């Protein structure tokens, strides 16, 4: 298993790190040329910064991705927890509701992104028509065409798409909590609010941590949905879209690999913060 992981994960990672220290245009250059840290930080004699850490477009994509992650993961966690609590209770039609709530998550991302793209259309999109009639948008304007609301519109798509996945993970955690603990809390006269804060939430923390890590990783590396809906628009460009632009559109494998390495490091930092701040023991 270690050999398989080294082949499918370790080698591509090490290769990417190596290419990040080279100047390599795969259309013109026969082989990578070692340039050290110039892809990360390089200033010309005229004082022009050409390195990645001196590129405004990169920092804009980082800020877009962080905002997208914070907003989408926060909303998905709150809504997913609420859905999981409802589904975990006893009521008629629970099985039907559990199936229906998974429909958005089951739809392929390309299909759901295109569907929302149509609803956001400035001419015939129903959401844009609602926004124009309520005075939030000007005539002929959409939430996607307005730079101030474009990122929020993408967050709405992601929340609709991925909240069922968060609810499913949290529901699995809720079903591992023994029912006799709630019976003991009822005997002690604990209120529903007290049982949630003192019993449900602490015991749900391991499952909540796993769900947060999964969704944070997905959000930080998100590519398909924003790219389908908005393309390379600066106001919604994520880190992965920026990496694709440098790697594929500009054919800069060296510079694009540097972008990929920084994405990897940023994701590592977010994961370490989650694990250390929540202090959860998985055993």
The string of pLDDT tens digits covering residues 209-237 is 888 888 988 999 999 999 999 988 899 99
What is the pLDDT confidence band of residue 161, given thresholds at 50, 70 and 90?
Answer: very high
Tens digits of residue pLDDT in 240-279: 999 999 999 888 999 999 999 999 999 888 878 877 776 6
pLDDT at residue 17, as a whole number: 93
3-state SS, the chain, equals CHHHHHHHHHHHHHHHHHHCCEECECCCCCCCEECCCCCCCCECCCCCECCHHHCHHHHHHHHHHHHHHHHHHHHHHHHHHHHHHHHHCCCCCHHHHHHHHCHHHHCCHHHHHHHHHHHCCCCCCHHHHHHHHCCCCCCCCCCCCCCCCHHHHHHHHHHHHHHHHHHHHHHHHHCCCCHHHHHHHHHCCCCHHHHHHHHHHHHHHHHHHHHHHHHHHHHHCCCHHHHHHHCCCCCCCCHHHHHHHHHHHCCEHHHHHHHHHHHHHHHHHHHHHHHHHHCCCCC
What is the pLDDT confidence band of residue 175, given thresholds at 50, 70 and 90?
Answer: confident
Q: Mean pLDDT across the stretch 6-34?
A: 88
Tens digits of residue pLDDT in 88-104: 887 777 778 878 888 88
């Amino acid at each position: 298993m270690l050999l398989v992981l080294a082949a499918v994960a370790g080698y591509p990672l090490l290769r990417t790190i190596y290419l990040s220290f080279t100047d390599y245009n795969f259309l013109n250059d026969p082989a990578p040329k070692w340039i050290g840290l110039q892809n990360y930080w390089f200033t010309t004699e005229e004082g022009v910064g050409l390195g990645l850490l001196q590129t405004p477009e990169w920092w804009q994509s980082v800020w877009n991705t962080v905002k997208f992650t914070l907003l989408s993961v926060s909303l998905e966690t709150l809504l997913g927890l609420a859905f999981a609590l409802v589904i975990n209770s006893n009521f008629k039609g629970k099985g039907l509701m559990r199936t229906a709530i998974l429909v958005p998550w089951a739809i392929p991302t390309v299909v759901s992104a295109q569907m929302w793209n149509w609803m956001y259309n400035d001419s015939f999109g129903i959401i844009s028509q609602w926004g124009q009639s309520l005075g939030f948008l000007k005539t002929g304007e959409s939430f996607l065409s307005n730079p101030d609301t474009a990122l929020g519109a993408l967050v709405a798509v992601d929340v609709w798409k991925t909240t069922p996945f968060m609810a499913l993970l949290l529901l699995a955690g809720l079903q591992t909590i023994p029912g006799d603990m709630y019976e003991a809390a009822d005997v002690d006269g604990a209120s529903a609010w007290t049982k949630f804060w003192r019993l449900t939430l602490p015991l749900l923390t391991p499952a909540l941590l796993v769900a947060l890590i999964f969704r944070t990783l997905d959000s930080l590396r998100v590519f398909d949905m924003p790219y389908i809906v908005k393309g390379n628009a600066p106001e919604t460009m994520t880190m992965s879209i920026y990496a694709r632009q440098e790697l594929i559109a500009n054919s800069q494998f060296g510079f694009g690999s540097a972008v990929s390495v920084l994405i990897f490091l940023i994701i590592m930092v977010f994961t370490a913060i989650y694990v250390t701040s929540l202090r959860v023991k998985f055993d």
